[in-house]
């Protein structure tokens, strides 16, 4: 039997250190499932594991892509499954560590298949967005797939402000004449491994304090300089990310630097709440307090194996 030990939880909760401890205990390797740590140009602002951490266990999908590449969750699913199968040749265990819920789900359950969309429709949607803004896309989804629009509004409202996601919803609705949601959960993907899901959590004030500390550390490590080097490419999808967007607004003279830093903290706190909402939906996840002794977690996994 092959086991994919999957560690989830909000940002700054301690997933990296736990993943390394488990990788060392089970003598296996780590697959990153953080959709921003894939990009080699983004180091400080994505809290990529440091050199010591990277040397403590073999990691994959860390800074293996460029922000200039078009890399989708579907691409990641295919590549991650190939790598996981390869790693299972060496061990019965692989660690999957992630803060990106959609990417975790893609590996564990599979990604929904959609029909090919006429490039002319894609171009038209893009053109309309540039002229009319995000409101056009929101209205299209609301009209074409009202139930899914309502679901997003309740569960993940930030998605309504994501141009790439909204353009995708719109082009599928217009290109197929069907609701976007009609293509979801159609395919049952078989996986040749058993997932063991471990969640890390803490009281809200502790999570928020850890986030504030992390932002301060990032600033001291050169986040401002990193963001400045990326500023000319600020429109790229990979850079529509908390920690960079706020500093781009500072460079645009829309924010003062102290205000931008506070916005990073506030938006990271909001992101952590959305992460927990997403991950708590999976009732198979075993949740532990972030300060739980590592042995207690390894004991839980050992008992699961029995």
Binding residues for substrate: 11-16
Under a CB-based contact definition with an 8 Å cutoff, are residues 173 and 180 in contact? yes
Write the DSSP string, 147-190: HHHHHHHHH-GGGGG-HHHHHHHHHHHHHHSS-GGGGTT-----
DSSP assigned state of 25: H
3-state secondary structure of 191: coil
Name the binding residues.
9-16
In whole angstroms, what separates CA 216 from the centre of its chain?
22
Q: Are strands 93-98 and 30-32 parallel, antiparallel or unpaired?
A: parallel
**Beta partners for 200?**
288
How many Cβ atoms from other residues are within 10 Å of residue 39's Cβ? 25
Under a CB-based contact definition with an 8 Å cutoff, are residues 48 and 37 in contact? yes
Under a CB-based contact definition with an 8 Å cutoff, are residues 85 and 19 in contact? no
Name the binding residues for ATP.
9-16
**Beta partners for 31?**
60, 96
How many Cβ atoms from other residues are within 10 Å of residue 150's Cβ? 11
């Amino acid at each position: 039997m092959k086991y994919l030990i999957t560690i989830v939880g909000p940002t700054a909760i301690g997933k990296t250190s736990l993943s390394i401890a488990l990788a060392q205990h089970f003598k296996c390797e780590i697959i990153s499932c953080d959709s921003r740590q894939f990009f080699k140009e983004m180091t400080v602002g994505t809290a990529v594991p440091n050199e010591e951490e990277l040397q403590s266990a073999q990691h994959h999908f860390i800074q293996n892509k460029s922000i200039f590449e078009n890399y989708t969750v579907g691409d990641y699913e295919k590549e991650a499954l190939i790598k996981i199968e390869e790693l299972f040749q060496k061990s019965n265990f692989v660690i999957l560590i992630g803060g990106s819920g959609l990417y975790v789900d893609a590996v564990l359950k599979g990604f929904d298949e959609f029909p090919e969309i006429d490039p002319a429709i894609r171009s038209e949607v893009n053109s309309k967005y540039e002229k009319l803004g995000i409101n056009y896309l929101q209205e299209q989804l609301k009209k074409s797939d009202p139930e899914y629009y309502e679901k997003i509004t309740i569960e993940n409202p930030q998605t309504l402000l994501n141009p790439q996601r909204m353009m995708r919803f719109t082009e599928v609705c217009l290109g197929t004449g069907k609701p976007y949601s009609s293509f979801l959960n159609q395919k049952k993907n078989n996986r040749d491994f058993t997932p063991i899901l471990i969640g890390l959590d803490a009281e809200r004030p502790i999570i928020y304090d850890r986030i504030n500390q992390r932002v301060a550390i990032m600033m001291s490590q050169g986040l401002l300089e990193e963001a400045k080097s990326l500023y000319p490419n600020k429109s790229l999808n990979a850079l529509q990310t908390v920690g960079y967007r706020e500093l781009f607004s500072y460079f645009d003279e829309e924010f003062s630097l102290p205000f931008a830093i506070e916005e990073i903290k506030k938006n990271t706190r909001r992101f952590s709440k959305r992460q927990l909402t997403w991950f708590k939906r999976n009732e198979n996840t075993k949740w532990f307090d972030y300060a739980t002794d590592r042995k207690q977690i390894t004991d839980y996994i050992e008992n699961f194996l029995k």
